[in-house]
């Protein structure tokens, strides 16, 4: 069980790190190609689809970290 907890925690941190890097590269690409106005539209609080997409991208990593903590607390 300890091995699974470590694997889940490592997977979660690796996923979150790579996802954040990919998201920031995407934002930089939008800024580079379309300018600051397009970036502000993308980061607008009214752009619900954009925020849902970011959440879906980060969800597997967050879920793995939450599951590893739950298993750790169950284990004692």
Q: How far is CA 70 from the centre of its chain?
A: 19
Position 3 confidence tier, pLDDT thresholds 50, 70, 90 = very high
- For residue 25, what pLDDT is reported? 98
Task: Fill in the DSSP letter of residue 43.
Answer: T
Task: Tell me the two tokens of residue 38.
Answer: 């397009």
Residue recorded with tokens 């925020």: 51
Domain ranges of the chain: 2-75
pTM for this prediction? 0.89
The predicted model gives 31-54 an average pLDDT of: 97
């Amino acid at each position: 069980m300890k091995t699974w907890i470590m694997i889940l925690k490592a997977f979660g941190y690796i996923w979150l790190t790579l996802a954040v890097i990919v998201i920031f590269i995407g934002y930089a690409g939008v800024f580079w190609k379309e300018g600051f106005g397009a970036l502000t539209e993308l980061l607008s609080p009214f752009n619900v689809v954009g925020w849902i997409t970011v959440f879906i991208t980060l969800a597997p990593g967050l879920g793995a970290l939450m599951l590893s903590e739950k298993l750790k607390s169950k284990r004692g």
